[in-house]
Amino acid sequence: MTGVVTGGMLRYVRIVDPFNRAIGRIVMYGILVMMGILLWSSITKTFFLPSLWTLEMAQFAMVAYYILGGPYAVQMGSNVRMDLFYGEWTDRRKAQVDTLTVLFLIVYLGFLLWGGWDSLMYSLKYGGERSPTAWRPYLWPIKSIMVLGLFLMLLQAVSELFKDVLRLRGHDMGPKDADADARPGTGPETR
* Residue in 89, 168, 151 with CA at minimum distance from that of residue 117: 151
For every residue of 28-82, DSSP letters joined together read TTHHHHHHHHHHHHHHHHHHSPPPSSHHHHHHHHHHHHHHHHHHHHHHHT-S---
User: What is the spatial distance between Cα 131 and Cα 49, in angstroms, rounded to a whole number?
Assistant: 22
pTM (predicted TM-score): 0.84
122 CB neighbour count, 10 Å cutoff? 13
Per-residue pLDDT 10s for the chain (191 aa) are: 578 888 899 999 999 999 999 999 999 999 999 999 999 999 998 898 888 898 899 999 999 999 999 999 999 888 777 778 888 888 888 889 989 999 999 999 999 999 999 999 999 988 788 888 888 899 999 999 999 999 999 999 999 999 999 988 887 777 665 444 444 444 444 44
Q: What is the pLDDT of residue 162?
A: 94
User: What is the spatial distance between Cα 96 and Cα 92, in angstroms, rounded to a whole number?
Assistant: 6
Are the C-beta atoms of 121 and 179 separated by less than 8 Å? Answer: no
Within a 13 Å sphere around the CA of 72, how many CA atoms are in the beta-carbon half? Answer: 17
Q: What is the pLDDT of residue 24?
A: 95
Q: What is the pLDDT of residue 95?
A: 87
